[in-house]
Amino acid sequence: MALNKEHELHKRRHGRNLGVGLLLASFVVLVLALTLVKVTSSGFQFPQTQSEQN
């Protein structure tokens, strides 16, 4: 049990921080999923460097 009662502003800030954290986590998962789909597709090729082109 806390000695001081939590202010209403802290409760709102916690909710906002949780929302931003979930949004960031979902963005990371989306980028990871798109990367995995692109890399595992059959037509994916790594770009050729200049030394390989000569």
Confidence (pLDDT) at 28: 98
For the stretch 2-50, pLDDT in tens is: 677 778 888 889 989 999 999 999 999 999 999 999 888 877 777 788 7
Report field, pTM of the whole predicted structure over 0.75: no
Confidence (pLDDT) at 46: 77
If you count them, how many residues does the chain have? 54
Q: Do residues 38 and 44 touch, judged by C-beta distance below 8 A? A: yes
Q: How far apart are CA 25 and CA 17, in angstroms?
A: 12
